[in-house]
C-alpha cells in the first residue's frame, strides 16, 4: 500500500467538494446570468473559507502515527476469564480483549496490568500494589 502524505490525503478528500464551484458557476451562467458575477465571487470566497475550516478540523487526523486508544501499556484492567500462557480475556474499559500471560495462569477476577500488545492480544501480568 502506498503511503500518502497528509497534504495529499487532504487534497484527495477535498477535491470533490471543490468541483462543485465550477458546476455552480456554469449553472449561474446559463440560468441566472444577471447574478453571474455575484455567484462567481461568492462561490470562490465560500470555497476558500470551506478549505480553511476543513483544514483546521481535519488535517491533524490525517497525520500518521500511533492511535492512542491502542497504546495500552501500563493500563490496569480486570480478568473476566482465567488467563493462561495461550488464552484468556480481560475487560479494558468497555471493551473485552483477548489476553495471555508469560508468567503462568491468572485466575478470573484478578486485577492485572497490561505489559504490551501483540496484534489484537494483550500481554498481562498480575497488578501488585506494592510495586507502584
Segments of the chain with pLDDT less than 70: 1, 64-70, 130-132
pLDDT the model gives residue 60: 79
pLDDT at 128: 86
Q: Residue 90's pLDDT is what?
A: 96
Q: Quick: pLDDT tens for 60-97.
A: 777 765 555 567 889 999 999 999 999 999 999 889 99
Q: Where do runs of H (alpha helix) occur along the chain?
A: 6-18, 20-31, 36-58
Domain over 68-127 is classified CATH 2.40.50.140: yes
114-119's contacts with Cβ under 8 Å and 24+ in sequence apart are 114/72, 114/73, 114/74, 114/75, 114/76, 114/77, 114/90, 115/73, 116/73, 117/70, 117/72, 117/73
Write down the domain spans for the chain.
6-62, 68-127
Amino acid at each position: 500500500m502506498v503511503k500518502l502524505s497528509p497534504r495529499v490525503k487532504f487534497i484527495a478528500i477535498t477535491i470533490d467538494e471543490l468541483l462543485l464551484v465550477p458546476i455552480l458557476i456554469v449553472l449561474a451562467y446559463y440560468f441566472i446570468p444577471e447574478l453571474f458575477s455575484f455567484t462567481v465571487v461568492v462561490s470562490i470566497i465560500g470555497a476558500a473559507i470551506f478549505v480553511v475550516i476543513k483544514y483546521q478540523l481535519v488535517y491533524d487526523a490525517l497525520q500518521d502515527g500511533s492511535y492512542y486508544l491502542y497504546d495500552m501499556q501500563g493500563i490496569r484492567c480486570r480478568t473476566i476469564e482465567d488467563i493462561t500462557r495461550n488464552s484468556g480475556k480481560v475487560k479494558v474499559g468497555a471493551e473485552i480483549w483477548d489476553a495471555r500471560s508469560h508468567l503462568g495462569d491468572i485466575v478470573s477476577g484478578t486485577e492485572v496490568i497490561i505489559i504490551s500488545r501483540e496484534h489484537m492480544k494483550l500481554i498481562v501480568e498480575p497488578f501488585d500494589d506494592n510495586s507502584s
